[in-house]
Amino acid sequence: MKASYILSRELAKKMIIVHPPEPRKELLLANPKDGVYIGKTRFMHTPVFWDPSKLINPHIAIIGITGSGKSYTVKTFLTRASLIWNTNAIILDWVGEYDRWVRQAGGRVINLAKENMNILDLVGLPKQSRIKQIVSAFDILADLKNFPQERDDIEDALENIYGLKKKPQLPDLIKYLERKNKKKAARLLKRFTAEGSNFFAGASTLDIKQLTNSGLVCIDLHELPSEEMRSLAGLTLLQYIKELMRAEGMKEEKDRRIRLFVVLDEAWKIAQDERSDVITIVREGRKYNFSLIIATQNPTDMHKTIFSNIGTIFVLRTILKEYRDYVKNSIGYSDFIDNEIAKFGVGDAAVNMIFAERQSKVMTFLLDKIDGEDPLFLYTIKGGNMDIEIEREQFIRMLYELGLNESQIEIIRKEFEKKDGVVDGENIVEMLERFGYSKSSIISFLRQVGFEEKNLIRIFSLAKMRKATKGVVNVVMEE
């Protein structure tokens, strides 16, 4: 082998000649008042600030499997943005993941299953514009494209119902269709007003405009009875927010600080359809005067238009090759980046930013880790008729004192993360037994946590039953 080749390879390893795959420092650095700090780049350890004035648009996508740090990234980002800019945030939560954190952070949680939302509200729009939005929503969620005649019937009925009533509601629309003998069109919409699914059938109980100025708000959709219902609610809320923010007008060019973040978490049904307002918002950049954050475990849930137009993408741990290939082909990063993503630990991230300043190529770069600030977080252990709440760091310290090693504690931590901070006592017993702890040691530990004797009996009885039915209920031990 030639000496010159060996020398070149060694120099490249030390990056004396080869510039690492990272953007220029001036694009990543910002005055702390102008940007949200994210972390440091892997190679040059440059602090990375998310500065919307430097980006083509303020919208963000976050991709990663459960436990990769996806919700942690969202929470850290919103916390810092609030401290820097006093921003507001509305989280449209499909799976009930953010309730606990929002309450701990002093925010407001709204259970949409206990509210009403009139999807025929005009929200300040001209009638024709709102009709187009409503029909578009039904196109996506009632599959109207396969029922062209019924689609026309619904559109005509909307035209007429706004002339007949000042504030029409969905049942009025259905009754009108039935009166006109458009029964098939009426049936397509009736499922949104059936008993137990009539969240869209009455006058709105939410003041969306007020919510856009209410600090941190979580709108919990997960108790709505179906994915279709959750998607219709999420899409309608997004349409309302979009029009309210557009009506406020654009900010001055010199003031690009974000006043409102809207988070869509696992909103796959409305993020993968090109007719969705999600796509419109991302395509049209800054027009709507707020920042959209889209988070998902499955990148194929996002339409490729999102990847090609969104200003910032965080790719966290993504194991399935078909998912990584989808992201890689959408963004266009190197095999090196792809290989690193496959090896990521919790909190590791590849970041793709499209800067407003013209670049020779779009740069995807690696972070050491998302440099977050954990808010106070409570773990809950359920056992017998008791729910014991304990601060996370205190519980971790107790596990160390019991003698668990780092990998064992990480297994228990992941179990809590998978279950939104709530784990059954018998699950704790089963894990500790797997780690080799005796019954007496586990009893002593659970007493220290706060369980009473009668609840300990119940916990161990359930643990014994689980063990007897191994294979029906089991704890997954992750590597």
What whole-number percentage of the chain has pLDDT above 70? 89
- Could you give the CA distance from residue 89 to residue 87 in angstroms, rounded to a whole number? 7
Tell me the average pLDDT of the chain: 86
Selection from 46, 70, 50 nearest residue 59 by Cα:
50
Q: Residues 140-166: what's their mean pLDDT?
A: 91
- How confident is the model over 12-27, as pLDDT tens digits? 444 444 457 789 899 9
DSSP codes of every residue in 299-360: GGGS-HHHHHH-SEEEE-----HHHHHHHHHHH---HHHHHHHHT--TT-EEEEE-BSS--S
- How confident is the model over 161-200, as pLDDT tens digits? 998 988 999 999 999 999 999 999 999 998 888 766 678 8
* Helices 148-164 and 127-141, packing angle to 10 deg: 140
- How confident is the model over 338-361, as pLDDT tens digits? 999 988 877 889 999 999 887 766
- Could you give the CA distance from residue 2 to residue 7 in angstroms, rounded to a whole number? 9
- How confident is the model over 59-78, as pLDDT tens digits? 999 998 776 788 889 999 99
- Is the predicted pLDDT of residue 51 greater than 70, yes or no? yes
Report the SS3 class of residue 246: helix
Q: Say which residue the tokens 């741990």 belong to.
A: 317
- For residue 470, the model assigns a pLDDT of 61
Residue 301 contacts residue 272 (beta carbons within 8 Å): yes
Alpha helices in 120-252, H assignment, sequence order: 127-141, 148-164, 170-179, 183-190, 208-211, 227-247
Residue 232 contacts residue 137 (beta carbons within 8 Å): yes
Report the SS3 class of residue 13: helix
Angle CA 330–61–345, to nearest 5: 90
- Is the predicted pLDDT of residue 126 greater than 80, yes or no? yes
- For residue 197, the model assigns a pLDDT of 65
- Is the predicted pLDDT of residue 249 greater than 70, yes or no? no
- For residue 3, the model assigns a pLDDT of 47
- For residue 374, the model assigns a pLDDT of 59
pLDDT higher at 37 or 6: 37
Report the SS3 class of residue 182: coil
- For residue 7, the model assigns a pLDDT of 43
- How confident is the model over 252-292, as pLDDT tens digits? 444 567 999 999 988 888 888 888 889 999 988 888 889 99
- For residue 173, the model assigns a pLDDT of 94
Kindly tell me the sign of the dihedral angle through the C-alpha atoms of 103, 107, 108, 112.
negative
- How confident is the model over 408-438, as pLDDT tens digits? 999 999 999 888 889 999 999 999 999 999 9
* Helices 183-190 and 170-179, packing angle to 10 deg: 160
Q: Residues 77-84: what's their mean pLDDT?
A: 93
Q: Which amino acid is at 89?
A: A
What whole-number percentage of the chain has pLDDT above 90? 48
The CB density around residue 406, as the number of other CB atoms within 10 Å, is 7
- For residue 361, the model assigns a pLDDT of 65
- Is the predicted pLDDT of residue 1 greater than 90, yes or no? no
- For residue 327, the model assigns a pLDDT of 94
- For residue 429, the model assigns a pLDDT of 94
Terminal Cα-to-Cα distance of the chain (whole angstroms): 40
- Could you give the CA distance from residue 42 to residue 75 in angstroms, rounded to a whole number? 22
- Could you give the CA distance from residue 277 to residue 240 in angstroms, rounded to a whole number? 11
Q: Residues 314-326: what's their mean pLDDT?
A: 90
Residue 49 contacts residue 27 (beta carbons within 8 Å): no
* Biggest alpha carbon–alpha carbon distance for the chain: 89
- Is the predicted pLDDT of residue 50 greater than 70, yes or no? yes
Report the SS3 class of residue 438: coil
Q: Residues 294-301: what's their mean pLDDT?
A: 91
- Is the predicted pLDDT of residue 239 greater than 80, yes or no? yes
- For residue 390, the model assigns a pLDDT of 80
- Is the predicted pLDDT of residue 365 greater than 60, yes or no? yes
- How confident is the model over 220-233, as pLDDT tens digits? 998 888 888 888 89
Instruction: Report CA 94 to chain centroid distance, whole Å.
Output: 8
The CB density around residue 128, as the number of other CB atoms within 10 Å, is 10
- Could you give the CA distance from residue 423 to residue 382 in angstroms, rounded to a whole number? 6
- For residue 388, the model assigns a pLDDT of 84
